[in-house]
């Protein structure tokens, strides 16, 4: 039977609010010393998490066009936060990896984010936050699967 239209629309509203909060947090904590859009910080985090990665793989993961990721990677590279090198197996493909400076910048940004969450959820214990994380992971997986179908 599935969810009602009202509950489906309420979930969309809640997800939109979460996205707005995420954007506000990014803007608040991303140091603008590099002149980058805050979304570049999230892309840097993806590069660090994946290690050396192709732009097309990042675009697929983020469910955006490759050109969007390419522009953001160019900004990160100009700021000295990522390196780009040709793939040894296919010179037409660029492999992206974080620089040492990129790792340092990201670590500071993550520390600020963690402090925000710890402050906002100070009265929650780890098991409650873990349960919330589990529900969010399920939401993301279901929405991603639906978009990829």
**Core vs surface per residue 94-129: b (16+ CB within 10 A) or e:** bbbebbeebeebbeebeeebeeeeeeeeeeeeeeee
Query: Which pLDDT score is estimated for 82?
Result: 96
Instruction: Report the predicted TM-score, pTM, of the whole model to 2 decimal places.
Output: 0.70
pLDDT tens, per residue, the chain with 149 residues: 899 999 999 999 999 999 999 888 777 776 566 667 777 878 999 999 998 999 988 988 888 898 989 999 999 999 999 999 988 888 788 899 999 999 998 888 888 888 989 999 999 999 999 999 999 999 999 998 998 88
Query: Which pLDDT score is estimated for 87?
Result: 84
Q: From its phi and psi, is residue 122 left (phi > 0), alpha (psi between -120 and 50) or beta? A: alpha
Angle (CA) 32-37-41 rounded to 5° is 80
- Does the 5-148 domain belong in CATH 3.30.365.10? no
Domains of the chain: which residue ranges?
5-148
DSSP 8-state symbol, 18: H
């Amino acid at each position: 039977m599935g969810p009602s239209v009202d509950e489906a629309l309420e979930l969309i509203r809640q997800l939109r609010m979460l996205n707005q909060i995420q954007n506000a947090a990014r803007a608040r904590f991303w140091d603008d010393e590099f002149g980058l859009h805050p979304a570049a910080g999230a892309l840097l985090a993806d590069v660090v998490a994946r290690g050396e990665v192709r732009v097309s793989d990042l675009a697929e993961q983020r469910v955006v066009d490759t050109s969007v990721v390419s522009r953001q990677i160019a900004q990160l590279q100009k700021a000295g936060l990522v390196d780009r090198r040709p793939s040894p197996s296919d010179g037409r493909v660029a492999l992206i990896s974080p620089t040492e400076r990129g790792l340092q910048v990201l670590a500071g940004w993550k520390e600020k984010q963690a402090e925000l969450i710890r402050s906002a959820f100070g009265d929650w214990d780890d098991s409650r936050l873990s349960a919330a994380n589990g529900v969010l992971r399920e939401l993301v997986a279901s929405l991603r699967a639906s978009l990829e179908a």
